[in-house]
Amino acid sequence: MNKISLIHEGKAKKVWQTEDQDLIIQEFKDDATAFNNKKKGSIADKGVTNNAISCRLFTMLGENGIPTHFVSQPNDRDMLCKSLDIIKVEVVTRNVAAGSLVRRYGFAEGTVLAKPIVELYLKDDDLDDPLMNDEHAVALGVATCEEVASLKELAAKINALLVPWFAERHLRLVDFKLEFGRHKGEILLGDEISPDTCRFWDAESGEKLDKDRFRLDLGGVEDAYSEVKRRVLGL
């Protein structure tokens, strides 16, 4: 499958149309951004690392009954995927308090949540991706009531699969962001799952092994991403 034309260039990936109308290629870049583009940089080999991690995770989720856009991994940086009509909702699932949950509600970082929280954000950079509830999503016309229910149910199922899977690899899945899209009448998990979109803490030391190292200038960013890749791929 070949890259025919560039459909979209995002912060971390390029999306290419292939000769098959139903298939696109996600090309993972090394570019890194945070705080809605206010902080920019590059993380060596991030594209290769995040593609490898995402392909492994999408394969595992697919094997466990989650419908995803993943088709195959043609090479190091590319993921062949079913084309999606992206739903403009970012679905964040949280197991442990961190990031905006701490800033917004005053939880102490590291507080284990009594049960996972699923949050919806409007995918709109101009508005800074505002937090919203189900009714906002429906009123804005970004998803139907039924679709919102499906997104939340899928996120909860995916969380229930990912938490023990990462625990076996000595990683604590603190929180993560998912995106979904429509494909031939079905909702599929899209985008990526990687240290760019998840918070991972080492299960023993609590060390942060994700994009927070870049956001907060903690150093050792490349090493953290490689360590997650090593554990995810079982290297």
Contacts to ligand UDP by CB under 6 A: 90, 92, 98-101, 129, 175-177, 197-199, 211
CB of 81 to ligand UDP, least distance (A): 18
Query: How far apart are alpha carbons 217 and 235 in whole angstroms?
Result: 27
Q: Whose Cβ is closer to ligand UDP: residue 28's or residue 176's?
A: 176
Kindly tell me which of 166 and 176 has the beta carbon lying closer to ligand UDP: 176
Segment 60-68 long-range contacts (CB within 8 Å, at least 24 positions apart): 60/161, 60/165, 61/158, 61/161, 61/162, 61/189, 64/161, 66/154, 66/157, 66/158, 66/161, 66/189, 67/186, 67/187, 67/188, 67/189, 68/188, 68/189, 68/190
Q: Are 214 and 41 in contact (CB under 8 A)?
A: yes
Report the nearest approach of ligand UDP to the CB of residue 64 (Å): 21
And the tokens for 191?
A: 């985008």
Residue sitting closest to ligand UDP (CB): 99
What is the C-alpha separation between 202 and 74, in angstroms, rounded?
30
Closer residue to ligand UDP (CB): 198 or 221? 198
Q: Which is nearer to ligand UDP, 70 or 200 (CB)?
A: 200
Could you tell me the smallest distance in angstroms from the CB atom of residue 90 to ligand UDP?
Answer: 6
- Smallest gap from residue 13 Cβ to ligand UDP (A): 12
Residue 37: CB minimum distance to ligand UDP, A: 10
For ligand UDP, the closer CB: 123 or 169: 123
